[in-house]
Structure 1
């Protein structure tokens, strides 16, 4: 009887440690939206790397809603994940979610978009300022210093929109391009189409458009085609659809990020943190401009 009790206790103990180890192997990625090919690629990169390194990965979609983002992170703290990768819906609003994770002693790594407050172990992103400047320089190279341009901005409050705009404005000021208008279209293809239709009516002499992501660039392209105009359009992100449009000669260029690599580096960095290794506060991911 004593041997049986010892055997059962041993089984229970093994089961306990197995569950504990499993929990220790769980990390999460919280994405601003999965209704955008860029973030789907980021998710795919994270999933592949997690499988590679032997981690269970929980994927949550914030649907571009800061309150949903906060509830996602709250859920993860209850589920006891060991690290959180987060692509913020808004650089300011995400602070509450990050502080919640901080209080639960869960390390946080931001992807693509930074956070204005809260304790973040590492931030992994492309140099958005440099990318915006690359887009502006490309337009100048193609059309000259006095090109008449429009900028379609991303979601106000995100570091990506702010930084890409900052870089583009550097190129505008350096070259004396004529910026006819700069208006948000929230990184969305349909909004890119609608905003561009209105801007084309107001500024029929536009020669070029810089859209702060490929989704808005593709929306702008539809508006330009419907108006029967010839306008040089530059996107940002290097999504599958964006690159395909460049190859077909529809978009002039896209500043290519590597979203899959950003996701993979996020998981890799989380793994290092959980092993007690030191990681860089900022991890840059290279950019390149893709043309036909």
Structure 2
């Protein structure tokens, strides 16, 4: 009797998995096209998505576009040829990703975007951190660290991405609440550490009296800190965004004042969950916002790094 009960339970589990997987065939259940894996944040998304797929007994094909929009088109074509149940895209560029989404749309493969939105095509839902709220929180943190007055620089993210635009929007809205703060320099550094160092070096040549920096991700902040040298975190306050292990480590070391932490593994996990809902034809919200958390020296130990 126990054996029959166990076999029935196993059969029900397999049936549930089949329903979760929906009706499309093929050996690959989901596709995840990441913009790059040369960034700890996106590695975290990959880790979360893979863990969730494994927990559900699904096979996920995770690809690296190396920041090339054309590669994302090719990768989406691969996903559709594998007859995936749903595709997840982390756009290199919110405009340039439209043709990639179109590939999936024509093959009637549901699409979910993660971290960055897509400016066209049919996307079931966008799973992203609350970047606008995070930008406001960064502005408040930087302004308070400066005592409400001083000159600051803003290292913007990769142009054309919704994450860069939304973080910038939040920061600008937040910093306006502090009339004693003046943004004297702003320039994109493409979410890249080396570019962050170069851009910060150029800014310092023109504005040696900068007292604060907001960088729209940890990588740029770490580059900016290198350019600032011994001034970083001391007479120049640096606030970042992402909460990567390197970023949190820099907060603990004192070279970053704070970082607005995203939860990349949770983003990856939720993207898999919502992709499966899309595959089942469920109605989805246009956006799913994942909360951000401020990491400072007082709580950094909880975040590792």
Q: Does residue 218 of structure 1 match 2:219?
A: no
DSSP-derived class of the 1:283 partner: strand
Aligned residue for 2:151?
148
Aligned residue for 1:172?
175
Query: Which has the larger Rg?
Result: 1
CA distance in structure 1 between the partners assigned to 2:189 and 2:230 by the alignment: 18
**C-alpha RMSD over aligned residues:** 1.8
Offset at 1:123?
0.7
Asked if 1 retains the 8 angstrom alpha-carbon contact of 2:25 and 2:83, the reply is no
DSSP-derived class of the 2:26 partner: helix
- Matching residue within 260, 270, 279 for 2:265: 260
Aligned residue for 1:85?
88
DSSP-derived class of the 2:145 partner: helix
Offset at 1:182?
0.5
Per-residue CA deviation, residues 64-87 of structure 1 (Å, 9 max, x unaligned), is 111111111122222221211110
Aligned residue for 2:185?
181
- Show structure 1 runs of 5+ residues with no match: 1-16
Offset at 1:191?
0.5
**Equivalenced residues, count:** 274
Structure-to-structure mapping, 1:109-128, within 5 angstroms: 109-128=112-131
CA distance in structure 1 between the partners assigned to 2:279 and 2:58 by the alignment: 11
Structure-to-structure mapping, 1:46-85, within 5 angstroms: 46-85=49-88
Per-residue CA deviation, residues 109-151 of structure 1 (Å, 9 max, x unaligned), is 0000001111111110011111111100111111133221000
CA distance in structure 2 between the partners assigned to 1:270 and 1:186 by the alignment: 28
- Matching residue within 280, 290, 293 for 1:288: 293
Asked if 1 retains the 8 angstrom alpha-carbon contact of 2:28 and 2:83, the reply is no
The change in CA–CA distance for 1:21 and 1:111 in structure 2 (over 3 A counts) is: closer
Asked if 2 retains the 8 angstrom alpha-carbon contact of 1:34 and 1:61, the reply is yes
Aligned residue for 2:209?
205
Aligned residue for 1:14?
none
Aligned residue for 1:12?
none
Q: Does residue 250 of structure 1 match 2:255?
A: yes
Aligned residue for 2:133?
130
* TM-score for the superposition, normalised by structure 1: 0.90
Structure-to-structure mapping, 1:23-38, within 5 angstroms: 23=26, 26-38=29-41
After superposing on structure 2, the runs of 4+ consecutive aligned residues of structure 1 that deviate more than 6 Å are: 226-229
Offset at 1:285?
0.3
Offset at 1:24?
6.6
Aligned residue for 1:278?
283
